Amino acid sequence: MRIFSILAAIAVTATLAMSILARPQLMAMLGAADAADVPVEAAQAGAAPETPAAAPQPETRRVKVSVRRFEAQQVDSAVILRGQTEAAREVDVRAETSAVVSSAPLRKGTKVSQGDPMCVLDAGTRGAALQEARARLSEARSRVPEAQARVEEAQAKLEEAKINQNAASRLSEDGFASQTRVASSDASVATARAAVSSATSGLSAAQSGIEAATAAVASAEKEIERLTMTAPFDGLLESDTAELGSLLQPGGLCATIIQLNPIKLVGFVPETEVNRVSLGAQAGARLAAGGDDLVGKVIFLSRSADPQTRTFRVEIEVPNPDLTIRDGQTAEIAIAAAGVQAHLIPQSAMTLNDDGALGVRMVDETDTVSFAPVSIMRDTASGVWVTGLPDPANVIVVGQEYVTAGVQVDPTYQEVTQ
């Protein structure tokens, strides 16, 4: 048994030795020629060795994309804002004096016209004060004629003293009057002048008394006028007027009144759009709660931006004869501006480049991709109106996310129906 194991080991060893040391002879025995022998035999026979053919290069495959051709169109541009309605006027009517309310209150929502009384206060002793002021005025006026008469009397005595002085002076020059008489006439003139001055001062005092009494009368009348607080304009009461019997101090609130016809639409324009808005421009709006479209015009555009939002306040005046528009309603506002050339493209066609700019990817005549930034004008149900594209524009609508600028693609053009 051991002999057979030894013989098997010898046979395996011989086989391995032949496969390693005598491989060419073994391959020849098996009928396979060495690849290195073929060129040698061909050279001995005088034939040139064959040159192997170059390996074919792999074909570059392009990304397939869908492209639409868009034409520019003239679009009536408008500045779109979100705003709200605001009363044309809103005033808090407050008391200017202290008194108790003596009128029945008016309830909120009541229509009032300019000049209608809203709160009436108790007069108290103000009527008596007015009568006293008028009496003092009459007394002051009665003193004026007496003062004027005194002035005239003093002026007459002054003229008489001047005549006597002149006569004494001439007689003294001719030696018919003494110096004592001349001095006495001079004293009489000085006394008459002092009397005129005193009478004139009395007249001025009488006139000042009239002015003071007139001012007192006006003050008393104004105080009585303040007892009745009236509506400053036509409008609606936004709050109840002061209750009967309540005490109002100066500055106390009687009622709040608002004016809704016309009404204002207030919005805030971003600084990128403010140059497109002008005073007098036509504007339209639609309330968030529904209803008819509103039409008005721009009456105010702020010259100063809000420091937080960097926007500019714009006001639009809209007629509201039936008062159906309320204060504080949300509205979508469109302000007319000059028309521009724009393209209507699908919103899905827009993408971002590596810098974060919003735009679209297009293809040119050589099927090379390029990126074009766009600016959105408005969003509609059929697409987005954008500016900044050439006319016409071959925009990639499918596959734009898989290509970059500068690569070539295999485009398939779609028909556009706008």
Residues of the chain with pLDDT > 70, as a percent, come to: 85
Contact 393, 70 (CB under 8 A): yes
pLDDT value of position 230: 94
pLDDT value of position 152: 83
pTM over 0.75: no
* Centroid of chain to Cα 283: 15
Of residues 412 and 182, more confidently modeled:
412
State the pairing for strand pair 228-230/73-75: unpaired
Spatial separation of the C-alpha atoms in residues 186 and 131, rounded to whole Å: 50
Q: For 16-20, 217-221, 266-270, 370-374, which range has the lowest pLDDT when averaged over its residues?
A: 16-20
**Is residue 44 over pLDDT 50?**
no
Residue 398 belongs to what H/E stretch?
strand 393-398
Spatial separation of the C-alpha atoms in residues 390 and 343, rounded to whole Å: 9
Mean pLDDT of 22-38: 52
* Beta strands in 231-339, from DSSP E residues, in sequence order: 235-237, 247-248, 253-270, 282-287, 294-301, 311-318, 330-336
Of residues 260 and 205, more confidently modeled:
260
Residues of the chain with pLDDT > 90, as a percent, come to: 37
Burial tier of 342 (Cβ tally within 10 Å: 0-12, 13-18, 19+): buried
Q: Residue 88 to residues 60, 154, 326, 384: CA-CA distances in angstroms?
A: 70, 66, 11, 36
* Centroid of chain to Cα 106: 36
Mean pLDDT of 266-271: 92
Spatial separation of the C-alpha atoms in residues 313 and 306, rounded to whole Å: 8
The pair of three-digit structure tokens given for residue 185, joined into one six-digit string: 């006439």
**Is residue 249 over pLDDT 70?**
yes
The SS3 of residue 1 is coil
**Is residue 56 over pLDDT 90?**
no
Q: For 60-69, 95-104, 128-137, 307-316, which range has the lowest pLDDT when averaged over its residues?
A: 60-69
pLDDT value of position 18: 65
- In the chain, the domains with their CATH numbers are 2-44 (no CATH), 66-74+340-414 (2.40.420.20), 126-225 (1.10.287.620), 258-336 (2.40.30.170)
Mean pLDDT of 83-98: 93
Distant-in-sequence, close-in-space partners of 408: CB < 8 Å, separation ≥ 6? 62, 366, 367, 368, 369
Q: Please give the mean pLDDT across all residues of the chain.
A: 83
pLDDT tens string 291-301: 678 899 999 99
The SS3 of residue 177 is coil
pLDDT tens string 166-208: 777 776 676 655 667 667 777 877 887 888 888 888 888 888 8
Nearest to 123 by CA among 21, 221, 25, 15: 221
pLDDT tens string 325-383: 889 999 999 888 777 788 899 998 999 988 889 999 999 988 899 999 998 877 888 88
pLDDT value of position 60: 63
Mean pLDDT of 307-332: 91
Number of residues in the chain:
418
